[in-house]
Amino acid sequence: MTAERGAELDPQVTQFLQLYESMDVPELHELSPPEAREVQEQLSQADPDIDLPTIEDRTIDGPDGEIPVRLYDPRDDEETTPLIVFFHGGGFVVGSLDTHDGPARKLAAETGYPVLSVDYRLAPEHPFPAGLKDCYAALEYASGAGEELNIDPGQIVLAGDSAGANLAAGVSLLSRDRDGPAIAAQILVYPVAGDAAETEAFEENGEGYFLTAETMEWFHDKYVDDEIDQGNIYASPRLAADLSELPPATVVTAGFDPLRDDGAAYAQRLADAGNEVHHHNFEGMIHGFFNMIADPVDIDAAHDAYDAVVADLDTMLDG
């Protein structure tokens, strides 16, 4: 599957980039990880004005201690539904339950399914595979929480954006290889899937479109601490020789994103391996647009992306 860059940026994205440049925000790779996290938290302070009956902070057991999670439950009745387990983006170094509160709320509201957002451990304090282990632990928890959460453990969806999409893909591979819990579908929004630096999109979109090549390289160096893990398929799912028998997938890419071709190539490899794949490329969009759903940055195409994800999810779960 291929994905192209539009002839020009979407006008709403242009407005955002002008606003972003006027704020004179330092590049994340110029900061220490704690400083970068603080900047990311400040940039993500937007309220999508989505009220849900239940939003509850909890903890679950992890491989090395408790993992904070947040449950978003849109249901008013006792209906048993699928569950979405959501992994936030942020290059494995930044991001939190709070930075991705908006996407989690919107996924819950639009699908009608509860969303369990996972605050996995971050690099460089906790490099690969710590975050992956936490995310796998969240899948294991969900698979055993049918009665507690009033969900169907056979209808668990893994979802994430960017680094979170990488983790969703990695957990899907890991669960297949371990004969672990069933996964009904995976939603991969501009995933980190392989070596994006090898792609045309990395070259043409590596500067000037919010996420830069230098920041991506900084994220990667912080996350993959040990050289031996450079080729680990659970860190780079697109490198896996066998991608068969994986859950149906929706892959969302953006035309002006350095990760565009990486995500499109992973979608193609999944399809070539016989998996059900839905790919949506938003030609005029940039990396991060899935989060741009509330003032001061509310982009129409972001809402279109949620519509596409929800429609695909209906198809994948019915299938």
* Catalytic (active-site) positions: 162, 257, 287
| Rounded CA separation 146/18 (Å) | 46
User: In the structure encoding, which two tokens stand for residue 4, read together?
Assistant: 């192209």
From the number of C-beta atoms within 10 Å of its C-beta (0-12, 13-18, 19+), residue 318 rates as exposed
| Rounded CA separation 280/79 (Å) | 31
| C-alpha to C-alpha distances, 135 to 43, 161, 179, 205, 214, nearest whole angstrom | 25, 14, 16, 30, 26
* Residues 124 and 94: beta-carbon distance below 8 Å: no
245: alpha, beta or left, given left = phi > 0 and alpha = psi -120 to 50?
left
| C-alpha to C-alpha distances, 70 to 5, 10, 85, 92, 210, nearest whole angstrom | 35, 33, 10, 18, 28
| Rounded CA separation 168/165 (Å) | 5
Q: What is the CA radius of gyration of the chain?
A: 18
